């Protein structure tokens, strides 16, 4: 059992490793001991055969895991990606001839001694991004047009910072995690608009401060994890939010990074994994003799009939029937994909893993882009706008990609494009999973824009959004930690199965930075280093799961 109060210590260790990507002897926690990684054997490349590693998914975690393996001399890996390109949740679309971002859009932090590793890559590859004043440049509306509720914005800011500070004190006292609503109700923090009931004009700033980042309401979120996730991002990297406006797409930075080390035969596209068989993974295995990289007729390394006589620890089957054999697998599929059983695990994953996967939340965060016809400029001149709806969370946050010519900075000048962000249960309402269609979304937006701009004859507009919740490759947007979450369950979410053969990496694995690109980066790197450590210690490793978290005891019968 890792007490919550010790987590910041553990986090600090992983932060140090992640914050210095050039350091070549990172230390990692392993089964309670600090294990120093020895440098790779100099002849790793020339030894009889390197272990075969499959990395499932080519998002940020998969690419950084691959880069980490390459840099330590382990090059016998294959990235297996369902989409036709690298990027994962860095996903762009086109509206009115402009590239816009359906998924990740911001890089957090700018002025700090600890540089966000995503910013480092963006700068390295010349990504075009601009500083977006999310919390400073705001126009406020409600269902009667313009409405001034700047006091409520200030109150929500204050409430957020007292929650974050209160979490620091709670960690020092080794107190439990709670939901924010509960702790406010118990007077642990000063009264604030975060305690119910709230008016629509109070809700809107809270949504901007909280739901916009965590994609759920304060009562659905962990108090402590929210607070350190915020601090470890904004206090460590800096307060700025850089918005990618790069017309090659935000994904460009990770594609360009991949191009620096990835060989064409180290990745397959359009390859959807349908099952992962790890039934042979616990057999003691001599990795030097398991032939698993025999090239098949079509050039794909595949398990041939000969191959099967010498069973490999893990076998991955693609939707088209091709099988791929591996000594080790790193799976980077989203928490949502894991929760939906999109992949068939043979045998079924252990109960401790299934429980851990179920214990965390995959949220939905959807951006709806709106592009206006005509040439009249009628929308707000600020970068952001809030809309306070009588129904909490109905299209609450608006952003302009087309600010006046004299505004600094410019985003997509002349694009006549705004986007509304809708999160959590409200975002599910506009998903096809709830039966909503594009026509419904268009009608919603007509109504809301007419509320915001009551004296304007709205021009025609096109809309564009990605239905994250319904996408079988994601099943939502990113993870959030629920109130009173259990650190043992998070350890089990990260733990390998099959004696270190089958591993998981991705944003949800980062306790410090869940939800963020830099969380995916840090966890991809950490899991690759853990795998290298395992291989160097003989290749068969204990899984570091908590055997079974102790559930509550039923009360004695009264
Ligand atoms: C709408 C939205 C807004 C966001 N905004 C920001 C932001 O501004 N800043 C920020 O830092 N973060 C943001 N994030 C979070 C960030 O995008 C993620 O944390 C990060 O991209 C996750 O990377 P990953 O490698 O862990 O997972 P993924 O990017 O999901 O990579 C997993 C890969 O696996 C592939 N895959 C899935 N199933 C299969 C299968 N069966 N077979 C083969 N391949 C499969 C997927 O196609 C994908 O490429 C946002 C996310 C979303 C969705
Ligand atoms: C993947 O499929 C798309 C069409 O869906 C195709 O355009 C592309 O060439 C394919 N890529 C590869 C590498 O097969
Ligand atoms: C976050 O940082 C603030 C300001 O430095 C501090 O007061 C607070 O205790 C920190 N909270 C956590 C959870 O680390
Ligand atoms: C199956 O998909 C893989 C990956 O795209 C491809 O390389 C292979 O040729 C396909 N096999 C068949 C039988 O279509
Ligand atoms: C597991 O090993 C057995 C015995 O070697 C073999 O027959 C079987 O095909 C292997 N299964 C997989 C999925 O590799
Ligand atoms: C809309 O017009 C009415 C009547 O002319 C006016 O009272 C109101 O202030 C206008 N609203 C806005 C948002 O401009």
| DSSP 8-state class, residue 92 | E
Peptide bond into 141 cis (omega under 30): no
Q: Which ligand is nearest the CA of 55, by number? A: 1
- In the chain, domain spans: 31-89+251-360+478-536, 102-244+365-464
Tell me the mean pLDDT in the region 134-153.
Answer: 93
> Is the shortest distance between the CB of 274 and ligand 4 below 6 Å?
no
Q: What is the pLDDT of residue 375?
A: 95
What distance in angstroms lies between residue 165's CA and the mean position of ligand 3's atoms? 5
Q: What is the pLDDT of residue 3?
A: 57
Residue 324 phi, psi dihedral angles, 5° rounding: -125, 130
Distances (CA, A) of 332 to 132, 380, 473: 30, 40, 11
Helix 517-536 vs helix 7-19: crossing angle, to nearest 10: 90
* From 147, 454, 457, mutation site for ligand 6 pocket: most ligand atoms within 8 A of C-beta: 454
What distance in angstroms lies between residue 325's CA and the mean position of ligand 5's atoms? 11
Q: Which residues form the pocket of ligand 2, taking CB atoms under 6 Å from any ligand atom?
A: 84, 269-270
Residue nearest to atom 5 of ligand 4 (CA): 271
Over 90: is that where the pLDDT of 208 sits? no
What distance in angstroms lies between residue 89's CA and the mean position of ligand 1's atoms? 3
Q: Is 403 exposed, middle or buried (0-12, 13-18, 19+ CB in 10 A)?
A: buried
Q: Which ligand is nearest the CA of 243, by number? A: 1
Q: Quote the percentage of the chain above a pLDDT of 90.
A: 72
| DSSP 8-state class, residue 177 | P
Residue nearest to atom 4 of ligand 2 (CA): 84
- The CATH fold of domain 102-244+365-464: Polyamine Oxidase; Chain A, domain 2 (3.90.660)
Per-residue pLDDT band at 179 (split at 50, 70, 90): confident
What distance in angstroms lies between residue 68's CA and the mean position of ligand 4's atoms? 27
Q: What is the pLDDT of residue 547?
A: 87
Q: What is the pLDDT of residue 460?
A: 98
Helix 60-71 vs helix 252-259: crossing angle, to nearest 10: 20
Residue nearest to atom 13 of ligand 6 (CA): 145
Nearest alpha-carbon partner for 326 in 76, 41, 82: 76
Q: Which helix (H) or strand (E) holds 14?
A: helix 7-19
DSSP string over 402-440 = S--TTSSS-SSTT--EEEEEEEHHHHHHTSGGGT--HHH
Q: What is the pLDDT of residue 44?
A: 46
Pairing between β-strand 77-80 and β-strand 53-56 as defined by DSSP bridges: parallel
Lowest mean pLDDT among 102-111, 304-313, 330-339: 304-313
Per-residue model confidence as pLDDT tens digits over 512-542: 999 999 999 999 999 999 999 999 999 999 9
8 A C-beta contact, residue 529 and residue 37: yes
Q: Which ligand is nearest the CA of 451, by number? A: 6
| DSSP 8-state class, residue 208 | I
Nearest alpha-carbon partner for 410 in 435, 377, 381: 381
8 A C-beta contact, residue 100 and residue 419: yes
What distance in angstroms lies between residue 302's CA and the mean position of ligand 2's atoms? 20
Q: What is the pLDDT of residue 27?
A: 34
* From 297, 318, 323, mutation site for ligand 4 pocket: most ligand atoms within 8 A of C-beta: 318
Interatomic CA distance for residues 66 and 450, integer angstroms: 49
8 A C-beta contact, residue 157 and residue 164: no
Question: Within 10 Å of residue 143's Cβ, how many Cβ atoms?
Answer: 18
How many residues are there in the chain?
558
Question: Within 10 Å of residue 551's Cβ, how many Cβ atoms?
Answer: 8
Q: Which ligand is nearest the CA of 308, by number? A: 5
Nearest alpha-carbon partner for 493 in 359, 363, 364, 362: 359
What distance in angstroms lies between residue 505's CA and the mean position of ligand 5's atoms? 26
Residue nearest to atom 2 of ligand 3 (CA): 231
Q: Which ligand is nearest the CA of 298, by number? A: 4
Q: What is the pLDDT of residue 4?
A: 63
The β-bridge partners of 29 are: 34
Q: What is the pLDDT of residue 7?
A: 60
Per-residue pLDDT band at 549 (split at 50, 70, 90): low
Collapse the DSSP code of 145 into the 3-class scheme (helix H, G, I; strand E, B; otherwise coil) and give the result.
Answer: strand
8 A C-beta contact, residue 543 and residue 536: no
Q: Is 462 exposed, middle or buried (0-12, 13-18, 19+ CB in 10 A)?
A: middle
| DSSP 8-state class, residue 209 | I
Name the token pair of 552. 């509550």
Contacts of residue 6, Cβ cutoff 8 Å, sequence gap at least 6: none
Report for 43-47, 153-157, 254-258, 307-311: range of highest mean pLDDT:
254-258
What distance in angstroms lies between residue 162's CA and the mean position of ligand 3's atoms? 9
Interatomic CA distance for residues 59 and 133, integer angstroms: 27
Name the token pair of 509. 């694995």
Lowest mean pLDDT among 34-38, 40-44, 228-232, 436-440: 34-38
CA 505, 230, 182, 9 torsion-angle sign: positive
Per-residue model confidence as pLDDT tens digits over 237-254: 999 999 999 999 999 999
8 A C-beta contact, residue 202 and residue 191: no
Tell me the mean pLDDT in the region 116-132.
Answer: 97
Q: Quote the percentage of the chain above a pLDDT of 70.
A: 84
Residue 490 phi, psi dihedral angles, 5° rounding: -70, -40
Interatomic CA distance for residues 60 and 523, integer angstroms: 10
Per-residue model confidence as pLDDT tens digits over 56-95: 999 999 999 999 999 999 999 999 999 999 999 999 999 9
Over 60: is that where the pLDDT of 285 sits? no
The string over 331-347, giving b where at least 16 C-beta atoms fall within 10 Å of a residue's C-beta and e elsewhere, is: bbbbbbbbbbebbebee
What distance in angstroms lies between residue 484's CA and the mean position of ligand 1's atoms? 25
8 A C-beta contact, residue 476 and residue 353: no
Name the token pair of 504. 């998981």
What distance in angstroms lies between residue 543's CA and the mean position of ligand 5's atoms? 22
Per-residue model confidence as pLDDT tens digits over 58-68: 999 999 999 99
> Is the shortest distance between the CB of 318 and ligand 4 below 6 Å?
yes
- The CATH fold of domain 31-89+251-360+478-536: FAD/NAD(P)-binding domain (3.50.50)
Lowest mean pLDDT among 26-40, 148-162, 283-297, 334-348: 26-40
Residue nearest to atom 26 of ligand 1 (CA): 506
Contacts of residue 504, Cβ cutoff 8 Å, sequence gap at least 6: 330, 331, 332, 338, 493, 494, 496, 527
Residue nearest to atom 10 of ligand 5 (CA): 311
Collapse the DSSP code of 532 into the 3-class scheme (helix H, G, I; strand E, B; otherwise coil) and give the result.
Answer: helix
What distance in angstroms lies between residue 95's CA and the mean position of ligand 5's atoms? 50
Q: Which residues form the pocket of ligand 3, taking CB atoms under 6 Å from any ligand atom?
A: 164-165, 167-168, 171, 227-228, 231, 235
Nearest alpha-carbon partner for 393 in 516, 226, 221, 212: 212
């Amino acid at each position: 059992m890792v007490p919550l109060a010790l987590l910041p210590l553990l986090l600090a260790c992983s932060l140090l490793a992640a914050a210095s990507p050039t350091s070549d002897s990172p230390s990692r926690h392993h089964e309670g001991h600090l294990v120093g990684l020895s440098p790779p054997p100099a002849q790793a490349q020339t030894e009889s055969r390197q272990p075969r590693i499959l990395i499932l998914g080519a998002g940020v975690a998969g690419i950084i895991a691959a880069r980490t393996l390459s840099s330590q001399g382990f090059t016998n890996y294959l990235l297996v990606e369902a989409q036709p390109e690298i990027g994962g949740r860095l996903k762009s679309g086109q509206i009115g001839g402009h590239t816009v971002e359906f998924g990740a859009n911001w890089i957090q932090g700018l002025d700090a001694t600890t540089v966000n590793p995503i910013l480092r890559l963006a700068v390295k590859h010349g990504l075009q991004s601009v500083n977006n004043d999310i919390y400073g440049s705001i126009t406020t509306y409600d269902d009667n047009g313009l409405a001034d509720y700047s006091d409520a914005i200030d109150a929500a800011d204050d409430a957020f910072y007292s929650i974050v500070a209160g979490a620091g004190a709670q960690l020092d006292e080794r107190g439990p995690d709670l939901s924010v609503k509960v702790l406010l109700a118990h007077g642990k923090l000063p009264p604030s608009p975060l305690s119910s009931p709230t008016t629509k004009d109070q809700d809107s700033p809270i949504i901007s401060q909280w739901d916009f980042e965590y994609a759920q309401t304060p009562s659905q979120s962990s108090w402590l994890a929210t607070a350190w996730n915020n601090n470890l991002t904004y206090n460590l990297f800096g307060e700025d939010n850089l918005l990618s406006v790069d017309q090659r797409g935000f994904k460009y930075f990770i594609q360009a990074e991949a191009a620096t080390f990835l060989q064409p035969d180290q990745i397959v596209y359009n390859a959807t994994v349908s099952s992962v068989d790890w039934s042979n993974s616990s057999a003691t295995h001599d990795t030097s003799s398991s032939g698993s990289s025999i090239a098949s007729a079509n050039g794909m390394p595949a398990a041939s009939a000969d191959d099967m006589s010498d069973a490999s620890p893990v076998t991955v089957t693609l939707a088209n029937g091709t099988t791929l054999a591996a000594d080790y697998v790193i799976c980077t599929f989203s928490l949502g994909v894991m929760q939906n059983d999109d992949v068939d695990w043979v045998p079924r994953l252990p109960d401790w893993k299934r429980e851990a996967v179920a214990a965390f939340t995959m949220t939905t965060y959807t951006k709806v882009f709106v592009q206006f016809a005509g040439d009249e400029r009628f929308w707000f001149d600020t970068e952001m706008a809030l809309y306070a709806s009588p129904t909490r969370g109905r299209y609450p946050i608006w952003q302009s990609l087309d600010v006046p010519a004299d505004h600094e900075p410019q985003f997509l000048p002349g694009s006549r494009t705004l986007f509304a962000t809708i999160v959590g249960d409200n975002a599910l309402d506009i998903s096809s999973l709830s039966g909503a269609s594009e026509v419904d979304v268009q009608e919603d937006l007509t109504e809301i824009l007419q509320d915001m701009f009551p004296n304007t004859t709205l021009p025609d507009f096109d809309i564009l959004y990605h239905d994250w919740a319904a996408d079988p490759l994601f099943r939502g947007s990113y993870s959030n930690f629920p109130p009173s979450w259990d650190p043992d369950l998070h350890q089990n979410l990260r733990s390998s199965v099959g004696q270190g053969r089958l591993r998981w990496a991705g944003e949800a694995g980062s306790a410090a930075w869940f939800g963020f690109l830099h969380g995916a980066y840090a966890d991809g790197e950490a899991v690759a280093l853990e795998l290298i450590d395992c291989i160097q210690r003989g290749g068969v490793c204990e899984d570091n799961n908590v055997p079974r978290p102790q559930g509550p005891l039923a009360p004695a019968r009264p």
